[in-house]
Chains A and B, each alone.
Chain A
Amino acid sequence: RKEVEQDPGPFNVPEGATVAFNCTYSNSASQSFFWYRQDCRKEPKLLMSVYSSGNEDGRFTAQLNRASQYISLLIRDSKLSDSATYLCVVIAPGGSQGNLIFGKGTKLSVKP
């Protein structure tokens, strides 16, 4: 089983749609969780951290379910500029803080 698994997509949605991405992780003792955004062949950029209580940043909402080892990202009112690959990221316990474990990413394409 891969350490971090994501649906690769692609997700093709119209502008204004709500889209949800899911991610599962294998190590139940993992401590820190993030969503990164990566535009085509550019560097990943932190979108948001994911907290147990859930957190929201504008149109973006992240949720963590430790019991199910499941992380989600919800994007409301999709914009054309949201088109990118969204990477689920975990820091495993005992690993250096620089050792991020990435999923393969989920590609989102928002159409006019």
Chain B
Amino acid sequence: DAGVTQSPTHLIKTRGQQVTLRCSPKSGHDTVSWYQQALGQGPQFIFQYYEEEERQRGNFPDRFSGHQFPNYSSELNVNALLLGDSALYLCASSPNRRAGEKLFFGSGTQLSVL
């Protein structure tokens, strides 16, 4: 049983560019949440997708957007990249918008903005 898979694992971009990160949830999970983890910080909630709609959003600007597909996979898009967007981006999946013991994280995408 594959867990949460994310691609790519590493990415280098320059300021002003756009990036798309991808996530496939764990089998049986229909909810995907995205987190940003800067170096030395805990993960911060970006948004959650369920039934192909954004259900809740953290304190992130509109440059951060997402999408969920009918097969429950998800994309995170970041436009007009800033140096401060450099971070580990984590995707987490769960069933029926539940969390706690039911929430599983992928190994993340390390984004470096130069």
Contacts and interface: CB of A to CB of B under 8 A. Distances in A.
Interface of A: 4, 8, 32, 34, 41-46, 49, 87, 91, 95-105
Contacts of B56: 95-96, 98-99
B42 interface: yes
Interface string B86-103: 001010101001111101
B16 interface: no
B107 A42 contact: yes
A100 B45 contact: yes
B31 interface: yes
B31 A98 contact: yes
Given A102-B43, A104-B42, A97 B100 contact: yes
B55 interface: yes
- Return the 3 tightest CB-CB contacts between A and B, nearest first: A102-B42, A98-B33, A43-B105
Interface in B57-114: 58, 88, 90, 92, 94, 97-101, 103, 105-108, 110
Residue of A91, A97, A98, A104 most packed against chain B (CB within 10 A)? A98
Contacts of A42: 107-108
Nearest to B4: A43
Nearest to B90: A43
Interface in B4-44: 31, 33, 35, 40-44
14 contacts: A32-B99, A32-B100, A42-B108, A43-B106, A43-B107, A43-B108, A44-B90, A96-B48, A97-B94, A98-B45, A98-B94, A98-B99, A99-B45, A100-B99
